[in-house]
Amino acid sequence: ILNVEQSPQSLHVQEGDSTNFTCSFPSSNFYALHWYRWETAKSPEALFVMTLNGDEKKKGRISATLNTKEGYSYLYIKGSQPEDSATYLCASPAGGTSYGKLTFGQGTILTVHP
């Protein structure tokens, strides 16, 4: 069974703050790590798919790093804005395959206060 854990469960920050949260996963039989951003009443939006140890990816003010040897990924948001408020999910393919069958963490609920 693949266990994907996220922390913290929720986070409140002020507009302009930078923040980060963690996703941990088993380091053995690793294939990929996905990050999603999920706003209420919308579809989860894919942010990053990370595969290589040491990977660092960036999309605007959001970036992510990956350490497959120790089994964690960090998601960073620089200069948080209220529109960044969402649930951030990480997921890893079950069974070490790439094809869409994902095991999810519980998510981190981010609230950015104006």
Partner 1 sequence: GAVVSQHPSRVICKSGTSVKIECRSLDFQATTMFWYRQFPKKSLMLMATSNEGSKATYEQGVEKDKFLINHASLTLSTLTVTSAHPEDSSFYICSAPDRPGQAFFGQGTRLTVV
Binder of partner 1 out of 86, 101, 110, 114 (CB under 8 A): 101
Stretch that binds partner 1, among 20-28, 40-48, 54-62, 68-76 (CB under 8 A): 40-48
> What distance in Å separates the CA atoms of residue 95 and residue 91, rounded to the nearest whole number?
12
Binder of partner 1 out of 65, 72, 74, 94 (CB under 8 A): 94
Strand partners, 58: 63
98 is a site residue for partner 1 (CB under 8 A): yes
71 is a site residue for partner 1 (CB under 8 A): no
Strand partners, 110: 11, 86
18 is a site residue for partner 1 (CB under 8 A): no
Closest CA to 40 of 99, 83, 96, 3: 83
**Taking the complex as a whole, how short is the minimal distance between the CB of residue 15 and partner 1, in angstroms?**
27
Task: With beta carbons less than 8 A apart as the criterion, state whether 45 and 38 touch.
Answer: yes
Q: Is 69 helix (H, G, I), strand (E, B) or coil?
A: coil
72 is a site residue for partner 1 (CB under 8 A): no
Q: Is 82 helix (H, G, I), strand (E, B) or coil?
A: helix
- Per CB under 8 A, residues contacting partner 1 are 4, 32, 34, 36, 41-44, 46, 49, 51, 89, 91, 94, 98-107
